[in-house]
Amino acid sequence: MTSPSGVVVRVTQDFSASPERVFDAWFDPDQIGQWMFGPRLRDEEIVHLKTDPRVGGTFSFLVKRQGMAIDHVGTYREIERPRRIVFTWGIAGSSADESVVEIGIAANASGCTLTLTHHMDAKWAEYADRTHAGWTTMLKALDRVFSEKPGADPAGKRS
């Protein structure tokens, strides 16, 4: 996972949802709070999930974990609905440590395949496995969001 230019983490996930639905889930704060952040994934509280989904727009995903505020921030570099998203990824106050995430979405017979490629500085090589596990967990959670019936609670019971 280490290359001369840094660390590359790649995760692939198939979805039974359309490329458009999967693409849009990256920009909708309500959906982001179901699969990327929040108590459905880990022991954390969502403070805010803000997106400005346009090239040059930014996002801020502020959560509290173990009493500590963590603001995941970035800037959208490319947005080509429904096939490609590129954005920076970092923690507020550590802008020198930004990485770049590329999302590719390709239609297939049953929905689509998403390939996430996270480019990090070589100094973060020891975090590659953890980064891979984190994105894998989030993409599996997104797949569960699409498989839940409308009106179902997170445990899958009808409300």
Number of domains in the chain: 1
**Angstrom distance (rounded) from CA 127 to CA 134:** 10
**Angstrom distance (rounded) from CA 37 to CA 121:** 24
Give the per-residue pLDDT at 81. Answer: 98
Give the per-residue pLDDT at 158. Answer: 34
Look up the domain containing 31 and give its range. Answer: 2-147
Residue that has been written with the tokens 């480019």 in this structure: 119
Give the per-residue pLDDT at 97. Answer: 67
For 106, the enclosing helix (H) or strand (E) is strand 99-108
Q: How confident is the model at residue 43 (pLDDT cuts 50, 70, 90)?
A: very high
Q: How confident is the model at residue 98 (pLDDT cuts 50, 70, 90)?
A: confident
Is residue 156 situated within a structural domain? no
Give the per-residue pLDDT at 93. Answer: 81
Is residue 23 situated within a structural domain? yes
Give the per-residue pLDDT at 36. Answer: 96
Is residue 43 situated within a structural domain? yes
SS3 26: coil
**CATH at 114:** 3.30.530.20
**7-40 pLDDT, tens digit each:** 999 999 999 999 999 999 999 999 999 999 999 8
Residue 138 burial (CB count, 10 A): 18
As given in the structure block, the two tokens for residue 115 are 């390939």
Is residue 44 situated within a structural domain? yes
**pLDDT over threshold 80, residue 68:** yes
Is residue 158 situated within a structural domain? no
| Distance set, CA 19 to CA 7, 10, 108, 116, 133 (Å) | 27, 19, 9, 14, 23
